[in-house]
Amino acid sequence: MYDILIGPMAWVSFGVLMMGLVIRILRYIRGLDWKLDRVAYTKNISFGVKGALRSVVLWLFPFGTRSWRDHPVFTVLVFLFHIGLLTVPVFLTAHNILLKEKWGFSLWTLSENAADGIVLLVITTGLLLVLRRVALPEVRKITDANDLTVMLLAITPFVTGYLAHHQASTYGFWLYAHIISGEILLMAIPFTKLSHFALFFMSRVQLGMDFGIKRGGMKGKGMAW
């Protein structure tokens, strides 16, 4: 079963992830209104590109935007959670051993203590973000079962991986649970709000170009918006 999970099923998981994201991106682009959304007019392209880059960069750094600064605790939780989500799967020693075996190369790896610390950080910040959704009325009323399911999908591979590493007597069970939950997570990304993994950049570029050309971006430059 192990060979199937890290072999054919892994390929299926990554295949669904990549194909699904490509389809979501293409559907996003096709869904834009030519008159209202696609504002990168040829003669004003430099303003659009500048606005797009500014939008993406500012949102990628904590407190880079007013929205981040207005909610400092939420901002810290979000960035810690996402940093952990990205760093552990890529730089975990066990994952890189598999990468070396399958592809002949590996990346820089985290120490065992650092990996454990980041995993616990992901679990803790994830639970705090769920608690925020439940505790704050303004967030609770826009939260549904899908939001909680997405968070559960994101956290489960970290919980099972941590238990697999530390529960020697039940290592096999938690290892299988970790691999399966990780592959479910990968396949769920294109079909859930986890797709913001890619669509974040699409929306920020769109809005950045919009504001870079219209809505004051070209104020005083002859644009009649």
User: CATH number for the domain including 105?
Assistant: 1.20.950.20
pLDDT value for 152: 95
Residues in the chain: 225
Q: Is position 94 within any domain?
A: yes
145/160 Cα distance (integer angstroms) = 22
Supply the pLDDT for residue 136.
92
Domain membership of residue 108 (yes or no) is yes
**Residue 64, in any domain of the structure:** no
Query: Rounded distance, CA 39 to CA 198, Å?
Result: 21
* Average pLDDT score over residue span 114-126: 96
Confidence at residue 82, expressed as pLDDT on a 0 to 100 scale: 96
Q: Give residues with Cβ within 8 angstroms of 2, minimum separation 6.
A: 175, 176, 179
Does residue 100 have a pLDDT over 90?
A: no
pLDDT at position 42 is: 61
Structure tokens at 214: 């219209």
> So what's the pLDDT on residue 43?
65
Residue 22 pLDDT class (50, 70, 90 cuts): very high
**Domain count within the chain:** 1
Residues 194, 150: contact at Cβ < 8 Å?
A: yes
**Is residue 137 situated within a structural domain?**
yes
Distance CA 116, CA 164 (A): 12
Neighbour tally for 161: CB within 10 Å: 24
- In a domain, residue 110? The reply is yes
Asked if residue 48 belongs to a domain, the reply is: no
Q: What is the pLDDT of residues 57-99, one digit of tens each?
A: 999 999 999 999 999 999 999 999 999 999 999 999 999 998 8
192, pLDDT greater than 90: yes
Domain hosting residue 99, numbered range? 2-31+81-197
Domain for residue 154, yes or no?
yes
Three-state DSSP class for 152?
Answer: helix
Looking at residue 19, its pLDDT comes to 97
pLDDT at residue 118 tops 70: yes
> What pLDDT shows up at residue 209?
82
The token duo for 172 is: 């096999």
| CA–CA distance, 12 with 18 (Å, rounded to integer) | 10
**How large is the average pLDDT for residues 144-167?**
94
Structure tokens at 80: 């810690």
- How distant, in Å, are the alpha carbons of 25, 175, 211 from that of 65? 25, 40, 14
pLDDT averaged over every residue in the chain: 88
Q: Are the beta carbons of 207 and 37 closer than 8 angstroms? A: no
- Token pair recorded at residue 218: 């070209």
* Residue 63 is assigned to a structural domain of this protein: no
Distance CA 142, CA 161 (A): 31
